[in-house]
Amino acid sequence: MEMKPYELVDAFWKNWGQSLSMMSSAGKQMEQMTMEALKQQQETLHKVVEGMQTMEQEFKRYMAQASTQYVDYMKQLTGGQFVPQLEEWQSKWNELLQQMQQFSTSPTKTSLSLLSQTSEQLEEALKQVVQQQQQQREELQGQMTSFLHELKAMQLDLAKRFEENSKAVFAPMK
């Protein structure tokens, strides 16, 4: 089966239009995948922060329990005669433990907080970029579709005229 010139033109521009749509769709998919990756990163950061807070609470609870048990044991062992010294020593020990805990967890907390804030700012900036790209893509796709339709119509008209003129020129020769 032989295709007519205007059918070839129509098929060519139809494929062009489909290619543009596929490129636009690929861009949308990349944007969506990027946003999903950022959300997963933020969820992970929030889980790490929650885990860190839970760990801190557990440590504090454990140390308070151990301290209470130690003081009670020493009271029983000494018959309560060194209670003021034990309580003073225990207070200093608790203060030291609290400072050590703060010293060891503060850098991690600060880093996680900064990372979380940066991630949120990046997500917001990326949302704005994606929104701008979507608007630009829609505008460009509309302009390209319109241009392709005009070009296709012109080429189809040219192909039909060429075919008609060819028939008119070659018909008397048959």
Asked if 160 and 6 count as a contact pair (C-beta separation under 8 A), the reply is yes
In this prediction the pTM is 0.62
At 76-134, the pLDDT tens digits run: 888 878 878 888 888 898 898 888 888 888 888 888 888 888 888 988 998 999 899 88
Taking alpha carbons only, the member of 98, 130, 106 closest to residue 27 is 130
At 25-78, the pLDDT tens digits run: 888 898 899 889 988 988 998 898 898 889 888 988 988 898 888 888 888 888
Structure confidence at residue 147 as a pLDDT band (50, 70, 90)? confident
Q: Which amino acid is at 39?
A: K
